[in-house]
Structure 1
Amino acid sequence: MTTTDYEHGVVPQDQRRSWLSIAFVWIAIGIDLSGAFLGVALAAGMDFGPALAATGLGSLLLGLLAMACAYVGASTGLSTAMISRAVFGRIGGAVLALAITISMVGWFAVQAGFFGQNAQIAFTEFTGVEVPVQIFTGIGGVLMAVTAFWGYRSINRLSSLAVPLLLVLLIVGVVVAFSTRGSAGLATPVETTIGFGAAVSLVMGIFILGVVMAPDMARWARTPKQAMAAGFVGFFFGNSIILVVAIVLARIMNETELMTIFFALGLGGVAVIVLILAQWTTNTSNLYSAGLSFSSISPRLNRRSVTLVLGVIGIVVGVIGAADYFVPFILLIGTVIAPYGGVYLASFFTGRRTARWQHGAEVPTVDLPSIIAWAAGILVALATTDPAAGPGFGWFTLTTISALDGLIVAFVVQLALLPLRRRDGDDAVVPAGDREQSA
């Protein structure tokens, strides 16, 4: 079976896409139920103005970080997992690819189960008939897996359809809420249970792993500058739109359940469509990245075949509800992956003209300095994670975002170890005429 997603190499220039189409993919990924529920939580725990400000600041920081990660993806034309080969070496890259695969399949299973639960609620509201949640989980998982199976082009088409429709549906909900309930609820004071810094942390936390995985989509951009534009727009607007809408609706309607809000507005059908499209586009990207990552381990692995197998595993785990028991483990894997973003950013921007960044170049079995930087980032991320919020020790606090802590520390340590690599001659510079890619 052939594949056209270039999982083992560089996306050719004649296959690259416009920045807007890539931004639409990230916007579609960002509009999901986790963002909606976070928005409702912010509305209940903060005054309206600070909640919007925290959303804006957190999304702005995500957008700026995404610009850097997207630049690497477009400049190399490689997936996140393939980049790890240049950073960590053959064995180290394979370990990272396996970690990404486990994390993405785990979240695919969790999100499929999440989809099933909410779809069951909507179906019961409409028909009065209770259907087992496993059926909805399975149907949703199959839809998502089929899209991921066909690859980026399929995801791009789905996003191009979903984003305008999602935006219209969300705007309709806000307009109906204002016209029927007024705006008085926006100014209603609430007991502050979420501090501003914590709110910014939460806003960034729900999409920080997506930033690290940005090269999977950015490699399709025509130029690095276009990738940066897509990254900023996609992550800033993709992360903030659903949060702002959820905050506004929750305050106006004085409700804490988004599905209930839409039914109270007489827009239950809208809620179902939003649910289906939001989870479909978001979860498809989880499985797509999982397939890309695992297939990068060996040239003999075909992305579509791998995606099919991983999709079946994810659907089964989601249907039997086993994913709920693995959430702490999946969170731990996410903590392991996030510092990798700092390592590959430091590696690329200090050594992009070196031989190892050319596709097909020889790389060491294990790059020890990069492994040390990655390990330092993981340790700090674990040290700053509150045990009540996930796997970690809670020894101290830096940015209040553990994944971001790990990324920053890994970046700094990788820079600090740069003289060691140059002394060992690992980063020989390639003449300009011999470079396959130009940043």
Structure 2
Amino acid sequence: MQGNNDYPLSAVPAEHRKGIVSMVALLVGFTFFTSTMWAGGQLGTAFSLHQLLTIIFVGNLILGVYAAALAYIAYKTGLNTVLLGRYCFGEYGSKLADFVLGFTQIGWYAWGVATMAIVLTKLCNLDESWQIPLMILFGFGFCVTASIGYRAMEILSKVSVPAMLLFIGICFYKGLIDVGGIGELFAIEPQDSMSFGAAITVVIGTFISGGAQATNWSRFSKTGKVAVIATLFAFFLGNGLMVFVGAFGAMIYHQSDIVDVLVAQGFMITAVLMLFANIWTTQDNTIYNFAAAGCNLFRTDKRGLITVIGAAVGTVLAIFGMYNYLIPFLVLLGTFIPPIGAIIMTNFWFVHRANPPKLGDIDLPNFDAKGLIAYVLGSGAAYFSPWMPPLVGIVVSSIVYMLLASVLAPQRNQVKAG
């Protein structure tokens, strides 16, 4: 794979495509993340279990379909999101997507590093002075598998995902015993309030950034069916399970993180193992995403170097308090990420009729006004929308891009002559 570079600036060739087991393991490991459980915990105290199951279903279905649509495009072209951005934003305009997606991944990485250090010091009763050294250790430690590439992350996920499912099963079993059975769980009354639309937005916002960048791995899929099924499994079922785990813990133990729940249940060692597996399998994917965006931004294939630089920046942000900014960061993701994926999808199916030419065979403008205008209007609509901002951003940006592409049809990208 070009050493361990995983084709950061080109399509993945057929001989390096992967099957369903590999794709599911890696993508599910990516979506198993503690912040999603935290979001689920907010929902668990605001809705009855019947309402909660509906919210989880609807929110993760929207998220899953969005991610699966991009996954199919990635399989078809062999390209990730930032490379696909060149078709609709232009050669230099695509740097907008690089910056937005790269920034969000650095933010997630910083939050994960800080979370790991803070939670571990609490679990082990260590002095707070240990937190910064641990942030440095984990900040660079978590990027090792990402620096190596797809194969290392695949191995980690194949070990961690079954282990996490086992730990979740133990948590559910003990929780149902403690609450008095499924009937008692359904009987729990909500203590807080939240609108249905806001709840759906929270669910979508938990991993919309990851859904927009899951193309970094779905482009390795052997077939379109593998790409779509694996992505739906991860973002509809996997992310949905994480939301439910958080809600389950909040309803019974008033703790949304499964690590805290396992501690409350008396499973300390299991809690520590879950913490490592849960965070590492997302952190290496997150910094891998940053490296993909960075390689396109700087037009370099030195993915390993960009990975380490990103880890260093993320570690610094963790040290300076990124842990305290999760809520506004989730709002930011749900507002500014979805329009990018929506424009890429519209470009693929509406402009190129699901058959775009290879990047090297097409003349692209430096800045494509259609994509940039659609992005600004879609993001603006999402930002000011009181109702489900992620969905509003997707719909508005897609419609605007479609209209502009129709009006400016003579200016569509032309295949190079000769």
TM-score, structure 2 as length reference: 0.91
Gaps of 5+ in 1: 385-396, 435-439
Residue pair 1:173, 1:267 contacting (<8 A) in 2 also:
no
Runs (5+) with no aligned partner, structure 2:
none
CA contact (8 A) 2:45 2:190 kept: yes
Matched AA of 1:413: V
Q: Which residue is equivalent to 1:261?
A: 261
Which of 381, 392, 412 is the aligned partner of 2:399?
A: 412
How do 1:40-439 residues align onto structure 2 when only pairs under 5 Å count? 40-124=41-125, 132-183=130-181, 184-253=184-253, 255=255, 258-321=258-321, 324=324, 328=328, 332=332, 335-352=335-352, 357-361=357-361, 362-384=363-385, 397=386, 400-427=387-414
Which sits farther off after the overlay, 106-115 or 355-364?
Answer: 355-364
8 Å contact 1:354–1:429 — kept in the other structure?
no
**Which letter does structure 2 place at the counterpart of 1:379?**
G
Matched AA of 1:21: S
Deviations 1:162-221 (A, max 9, x none): 111100011011112223442234412233512333222211111112222221111010
Shift of 1:425: 4.8
Contact 1:381 1:403 in 2 (8 A): yes
Residue identity opposite 1:307 in structure 2: T
CA distance in 2, matches of 1:185, 1:377: 40
Q: Deviations over 1:288-319 (max 9, x none)?
A: 11101111134444111111111112112212
Question: How far did residue 278 of structure 1 move?
Answer: 1.0
Q: Could you say if the C-alpha distance between residues 257 and 76 of structure 1 is closer, same or farther in structure 2, counting changes exceeding 3 Å?
A: closer
Measured in 2, the distance between the counterparts of 1:144 and 1:165 equals 18
- Mark the CA change 1:325 to 1:47 in structure 2 (over 3 Å): closer, same or farther: closer
Q: Is the 8 A contact 1:74 1:227 kept in 2?
A: yes
Instruction: Report the CA distance between 1:75 and its aligned residue.
Output: 0.7
Contact 1:378–1:406 (CA under 8 A) maintained in structure 2? yes
* 1:44, distance to aligned residue in structure 2 (A): 1.4
Letter in 1 for 2:152: S
How many Å separate the matches in 1 of 2:193 and 2:334? Answer: 27
For 1:166, the aligned partner's letter is M
Taking the aligned partners of 1:315 and 1:61, their CA distance within structure 2 comes to 32
User: Is the contact between residue 245 and residue 258 of structure 2 (CA under 8 Å) also seen in structure 1?
Assistant: no
Q: 2-side partners of 1:3 and 1:121: how far apart?
A: 37
Report the CA distance shift for 1:225/1:429 in structure 2 as closer, same or farther (over 3 A).
farther
Letter in 2 for 1:135: P
Cα 1:310–1:256 change in 2 (3 A) is: closer
Are the structure 2 counterparts of residues 258 and 23 from structure 1 closer, same or farther at C-alpha, using a change threshold of 3 Å? Answer: closer
CA contact under 8 A between 2:249 and 2:261: conserved in structure 1? yes
Number of residue pairs matched by the alignment: 414
